[in-house]
Every structure is written in structure tokens, then in C-alpha cells.
Structure 1
Amino acid sequence: MKQTLLLFCLLFSIGTAKSQDYIITKFGIKPDSTKLNTAAIQRVIDKAAVKGGTIVIPNGTFLSGALFFKPNTKLRLMEGAVLKGSDDIKDYPLLPSRMEGQNLDYYAALINAYKVDHFSITGPGSINGNGLRFWKAFWANREEKAKLKLPSTNLEVHRPRLVFIWGCNDVTIKDVKMHNSGFWTTHLYQCQNVLMENCDIRSPFRPVKAPSTDGVDIDVCSKVTIRNCYISVNDDAVCIKGGKGVDAQNLPGNGIVEDILVENCTFGEAHSTLTLGSECIHARNITIRNCKVANTCPILRLKMRPDTYQLFENITVDNITGSCGSVILINPWKQFFDLKGSTKKPYGTIKNIKISNINVQAGSFGVMEGNPNDTVSDFVFKNVTVTTKSPALQNKYKDVKVENVTVNGAALIMN
């Protein structure tokens, strides 16, 4: 009996023991915002991976290029800690990756985790992408192309993301500041059970715009919760992705995004608060609730691609207050349109959408006008109060129901 009890206690202590902390300054790494510490920090990560451990960034600023976290490793940034990204793209290797709904070679992020279950990033410190040089290069390239009357894409100027987590389950990102990314801020791809909580995600609109710095991109993932976060970025705050193109639904790297919850968050300036579409083939069971908005963008935006079959279903927007650009925006999205020679005519299907308990000041109520073959069904506005100078809802769909919706104190008008 005693031996059994001793064995149980031993197993319990092993199962509940804290992982070892690997404080990077104990390995000769000094806080110096001008000295590149990529290789030295990576050696600490590799050492921690052997037995399992948490890489700890203490108070101070530490400059680094791409870091690759291994199974059994985590990252913690202490109070006053800043992990600062290099602004030279050569410090981010070109690797098989995922960008804009495509599997392709692209540059590593500052923080990378591939198939690292139970990975976590915790604060209260900061990850700073130091993106100014990348932003300036982006706008210079776009200006030059415009002079030549040529189009430009988001991938022409090579820029790193801040955080890329791929194929990981049971992920936690908590109490951390994520600022000034060169490209997307947080990219989750093929992950399940992710919690982002109490995070502060920002990139500027001025004096230099930080282009395509999406707050959180959720790409072929399930069971993601974003809670108690502040997000203000120069693109979509929360964006549901999953693939694009006329045959996107048949490609193995693409897929559904489902069971997503965004709650108790505050949204500053952005291009939209919640977006489905620019690269999304199927999204379902998406909820945003109990949030505050202080911006000039749509609360819900559905980008309808005429070159992609899209299905958006079971979307709930509930209890949103503050000021915004519009309550709803459904419109064609033709950026980088490409049927790749196909004669198919893709269309979008939108069904079972409920927008309720909204009380906002807005630039306009909204627009619901997708591509000619898109369909909308079971779309409900309920208990919505809006103050706006553009009170009409531009809507071309029949199956849109309105219950207790007032605009400037009168009933909503649908054009």
C-alpha cells in the first residue's frame, strides 16, 4: 500500500512539475537593441527543447531575427521585456509557408512554432516587429508601380509576420503586447484550441501606415477564442481565412474555419472589426459578442470573391457598442482576381446570420450587395439602434429580416 502511494505521489509530482525557466541573460545574452541575438537565443530554445522549458526574456530590449520554437518549449516576456524584430529581411529565412490563402515559400516570422502542441506566449512584456523600414519600402514600391501604371501585390516587398503558429494544438497567447509588425501580426494556421487573452495588438495609421498588419488571421483553424484583447491595426482586426481561387476547396492546404469566439474585446482603428472573405472558402459558427468599437470601419465585413466558392454560415454578432463606420458591409472583393483560365463561375452562399443588440454611432448603416450570383438567407437584424447621417441599408436580398431596428429614432429603411 505504501509503495503504491509513493508511486502515485511520484507520478503526480512529475505530471505537475513546472517546466524549467531558461532566462536568456544567463546564457550570455545582454539587452542591446543594436546587437543581433538571433543565433544565441535560438541556442537557448534548442537547449530548452531537450528536457522541456520556458524561454524567458527579462527586462530590456533584445534584437532578433526569426526564432523557431520546438516541441516542449514556451516563451515568456517579463515586465519591461522587449523582443525586437530585425528590420532586415535577410534575418528571416525563406521557407515553405502559408500566405494569403496559398501554400508557398515565404519568409519566416519573428516567432515561429510548427507542430508545437501546448505552445504558449505570455507577458506582460512586448514583441515589437520594428516594422517601419518594411512599411516605407512597401509604400515606395507601390508609388513606383503606380507611376508606371502597374499593379502591385502585398508580397512584392518582402516583410515578416510577427507570430506564425502552424499545426499546433492547445495554444495560449496571453498578457502580451504585440506591436509594429512588418506584415500580419498573428497568423494561426491549421491549429485547434487556441486562446488569446488580455493581449494588446497595435500597428499605426500615422505618420507612416503599417500596411497589411492584420491583428489576428485565423486560417484553417477550429476552436479559437479571442478574449479581453485590444486590437487596432492598419488592416482587418480579426480576419477569417482558409483559401482562395476557383479550385481552392479541392486543395489540401485549404479548409474550413469553425467554432471561433471573439468576446469582451475593444477595437480601435482598423479596416474592419471582423472580416470573412479575402481568402476564405468556408466559415461557420463564428461569434463576436460583448465588444466595444471605436473606429470608422464595418463591424462585420463579408468579402465576396468572384473567383472563389464561398460559404459563410452561422455567424453571430451580439452586443456591440461604440462608434463605427457601418454595422454591415457585404461587397465584391476583386483584389488579385484570377480564374486561372477556368470557365467556372464561382459564387458565395451566406446563411443564418444574426446581428443583435447593437447600439452604435456609425458613418452609415451599411451595404449588402455582393456579386450577382451570391445568395443570402436567414439574415436577421434584431434590437439594433444606430445613429448615422446615412440611415438607409443598401440591400438587394429578400431574405433579410428586421426586428426592432431603429435608425435616428425611426424604423430602418432598406433600399
Structure 2
Amino acid sequence: MIKLLTLSLALMASLSLSAKDYVITRHGVKADSTLLNTCAIQKVIDKAHAKGGGTIVVPKGVFLTGALFFKPGTRLKLLEGAVIKGSDTIADYPLMASRMEGKNLDYFAALINATHVNGFSITGPGTIDGNGYKFWDQFWARREEGRRQGRTVTNLEVYRPRLIFIWGCDSVTLRDVKLRNAGFWTTHLYQCNDVLIEGCDIRSPFKPVKAPSTDGIDLDVCKRVTIRNCYISVNDDGVCIKGGKGPLAHTLPENGIVEDVLIENCTFGQSHGTLTLGSECIHARNITLRNCVMQNTCPVLRLKMRPDTHQTFENITIENITGNSGPLIEMRPWKQFFDLEGTTDQPKATVRNIVMSNIHVTATYFGEMAGNAHDTVSDIVFRNITVHSPGQGMKCLYPDAVTLENVTENGEALKLVP
């Protein structure tokens, strides 16, 4: 008996388990990648919640499931070799109150969901795989059908689940987990505060099938977020700042500011933009990207200037950046799905206090700055920057707002061109 107890304690220690840990295979969940385990895993989550909370532990193996809903007091841990694999049938993701593309609406649940679960965490080193290939194929087929019909197909027309959706949670941690192949956005945090995303590896492919709209990390009305020591390469924006869109978005209580975000010591592979603000963003403030390596051809900072949304982007710092990139800054009007929603409003944007410094990259071109007619731009500083690129000069409609300090392109002082 003593020997058995000793072995049991040793096993618990080796798995870093405690009495509050619920290893799913000890509660009726089968390690069978062809068997849909949604109900069985949800029962484990519900049991842990009913007993005061605990960690849902996924051991080595592939576990196929639809949407899972974490309850207060519960969290998720994936051990080495553990894979939560998403079902590729949309019926396994219930339609429910949600948030998508800057609007509160009914949409399909994500693979992993947590709503009002303070202290929620997902830790690795295992993997959450969205298994999104079928959804991607459906999306591109619908896009092609729309092209033949002469109409634009929106992102929401093809039903696809996100990988992770965390709503209204404080003190959130995602650490050392691999996030793969989301059907839609990879990590969506809405109305969350005090978030740490650390040591995560986030990827979706560009080939053989492009994984559309698989943003790496979407921050939507969030405050005090740190993203550190991550690798991100996805077929959309790497880190995207959201918060609402539309001519009245700034007046609606469900929308709001994203502020106090630090992104540091990360490596960014290919995406559409390393740090993007604007497609659904009414106010972003105090956003810092520093000490990061670029391994891509996309913009380091991408500002999407919506003519149908009041926007304020302020106090943005980009510093200590190296590697290969696209333009340092890409600021352009963004008219995708333009909609004044029947109003006569004329939204405008304010962009101010952006500092980009200590950047040394090989880039596709230096950058461009253009907005809509009523936008106001001020206090843009480029300092201690060396860029090697095929081009010469930065296209800029706001030369009076820009200060250049020791900035060179191909060994010559940077020129601002209209």
C-alpha cells in the first residue's frame, strides 16, 4: 500500500497535478481523434465548476471536440503532446450572443470559450488546433461564387468558428500553448483587463490553402495587456486592436477604448500586418511594440482609416525593431464594408503622438501616410532608423506633422514625397 501511494504521488508530481486537477481521460473522455468528445469534456468542466473550480488537464493524445465552455473557477492545461482538435462541422458550435467585427450580435461559439471567468488561464505546452481547412475551402468557394455574381462576400457569410473567445474576464493568462489553424480569428479577447499572453506559438497557413481572417490576437475593448515572447504568423493581422465600428460606434456602451498594451520580445512571421489598428477600432491609446524581430513582408504598423467611423489613435510607440519587414508604417483609407448606416454623419479621425525609433530593417519600402479628407494627424516622430529597400522616400500627405531625426533609407536621408 505504501509503495502504491508513493508511486501515485510520484505520478501526480510528474504531471504537476493537484487535487483540483481533472485529467479528462480519468473522467470518461476517450483519446480517440475520430470520436467527438464535446459532451464528455464539457461534463468534466461542469463537474470541476460544481466542486468549486479546478484545472481541466488534457494529457498526451488528440481529442476531437466542438465548442467548450469554461465556467468560473475553471482553467485549461494541455500537457506535452496534448491536442484539442476542433470539429470541422459548424453545427458543433452553437449560435449564441457574441461579438464579431466590432458589433454585438449572435454568432457561432468558438472552440474554447470563457465568459466572466476571472483568473481564466490556458497553459501548455500542448496544442489547440482549429482544424480549419474545411471552413477555409468553403470561404474561398463562396468568395469565388460572389465574384462571378458581381457582389462582395463578407467575412460573416461563411460560418466559421474562432479558436478562442474570452469575454468579460479579468486576470487572464495564455502561456506556452500552441494555437493552430483557426477557422476564423485565432484569439479574441473582448472586455478583458489585465491580460498576459506569454510564450505562445500562433500560426495559420498561407499555403496550400490560405487561412482567411485568422488574426493572431484580437484585443477588443481591453485594458492592460502584455504580449511577450510569442511567435505569430497568420493569414491576417498579427496583433489587431479593435473596439467597434460604424458612425455611432463611439456612442454605444458595448464599444470602447483599447489601452495600455505592451508587445515585447516577439518574433513575427508573415501576416497582413504586425500591429494593426482601425478595421474595427474607435480609440486606441498607449500601445507599445518593442524589442521585436520581423520575418515578413507586411507593415510593422498598419493604420486603417475608416471613413464611416470616428477614430482616435494616440500614444503609439514602436522601438527596437530588427529583421526583414514590409513598410514601417502603412496608413491608408480603409473602405471595406463601408456603411454610414443611414446617418448623415461625417466621421473623422485623430492620429497623434506616434514615435517609431531604433529600427533597423530590410523593408519592401519605407512607408506611406494617407487618410481621409477630415482626418487630423500630428506629432509623428521617426528617430534613429536605417532602412534598406528597393524604393526611395516615404509617401506622406502630412509632412508638417512628421519629424525625422537620423533617419536614412539606403544610406541617404529619408525624403517625404507627396
Q: Compared with structure 1, are the counterparts of its residues 19 and 348 closer, same or farther at alpha carbon in structure 2 (3 Å cutoff)?
A: farther
The aligned counterpart of 2:405 is 403
Structure 2 residue matching 1:183: 3-state secondary structure: coil
The aligned counterpart of 1:103 is 104
Structure 1 residue matching 2:143: 3-state secondary structure: helix
Query: What is the deviation of 1:85?
Result: 0.2
User: Is 2:416 the partner of 1:414?
Assistant: yes
1:15-94, aligned counterparts within 5 Å?
Answer: 20-50=20-50, 51-94=52-95
Q: Is the 8 A contact 1:313 1:351 kept in 2?
A: yes
The aligned counterpart of 2:269 is 268
Deviations 1:237-288 (A, max 9, x none): 0000000000000111100000000000000000000000000000000000
Deviations 1:272-314 (A, max 9, x none): 0000000000000000000000101000000000000000000
Q: Is the 8 A contact 1:263 1:288 kept in 2?
A: yes
AA of the residue aligned to 1:96: A
Distance 1:405 1:113 in 2: 45
1:164-183, aligned counterparts within 5 Å?
Answer: 164-183=165-184
Structure 1 residue matching 2:302: 3-state secondary structure: strand
Deviations 1:347-379 (A, max 9, x none): 110001000000000110011011111111010
Distance 1:81 1:114 in 2: 24
Distance 1:260 1:307 in 2: 25
Distance 2:151 2:344 in 1: 26
The aligned counterpart of 1:309 is 310
Query: What is the deviation of 1:391?
Result: 2.0
The aligned counterpart of 1:232 is 233
Query: What is the deviation of 1:18?
Result: 5.7
1:223-302, aligned counterparts within 5 Å?
Answer: 223-302=224-303
Q: Compared with structure 1, are the counterparts of its residues 283 and 136 closer, same or farther at alpha carbon in structure 2 (3 Å cutoff)?
A: same
AA of the residue aligned to 1:382: R
Runs of 4+ in 1 over 3 A off after TM superposition: none
The aligned counterpart of 1:8 is none
Distance 2:28 2:99 in 1: 34
Distance 1:283 1:390 in 2: 31
Distance 1:254 1:339 in 2: 17
Query: What is the deviation of 1:19?
Result: 6.1
Distance 1:378 1:408 in 2: 25
Distance 2:49 2:205 in 1: 36
Distance 1:221 1:192 in 2: 6
The aligned counterpart of 2:357 is 356
Q: Is the 8 A contact 1:19 1:54 kept in 2?
A: no
Q: Is the 8 A contact 1:212 1:235 kept in 2?
A: yes
AA of the residue aligned to 2:26: K
- TM-score between both structures, scaled by the size of structure 1: 0.95
| Identical amino acids, percent of aligned pairs | 66
Distance 2:321 2:103 in 1: 33
Q: Is the 8 A contact 1:295 1:323 kept in 2?
A: yes
Deviations 1:46-86 (A, max 9, x none): 00012211000000000000000000001000000000000
The aligned counterpart of 2:4 is none
The aligned counterpart of 1:7 is none
The count of corresponding residues between Structure 1 and Structure 2 is 399
1:98-247, aligned counterparts within 5 Å?
Answer: 98-247=99-248
Deviations 1:184-234 (A, max 9, x none): 000000000000000000000001000000000000000010000000000
Distance 1:410 1:343 in 2: 47
Structure 2 residue matching 1:144: 3-state secondary structure: helix
The aligned counterpart of 1:375 is 376
Structure 2 residue matching 1:43: 3-state secondary structure: helix
Q: RMSD of aligned C-alpha atoms?
A: 0.9
Q: Is the 8 A contact 1:166 1:189 kept in 2?
A: yes
Distance 1:342 1:271 in 2: 31
Query: What is the deviation of 1:344?
Result: 1.3
Distance 1:363 1:119 in 2: 40
AA of the residue aligned to 1:165: I
Q: Is the 8 A contact 1:227 1:264 kept in 2?
A: yes
Deviations 1:82-131 (A, max 9, x none): 00000000000000000000000000000000000000000000000000
AA of the residue aligned to 2:304: K
Query: What is the deviation of 1:146?
Result: 0.2
Query: What is the deviation of 1:399?
Result: 1.1
Structure 2 residue matching 1:239: 3-state secondary structure: strand
Structure 1 residue matching 2:371: 3-state secondary structure: coil
Q: Is the 8 A contact 1:19 1:52 kept in 2?
A: no
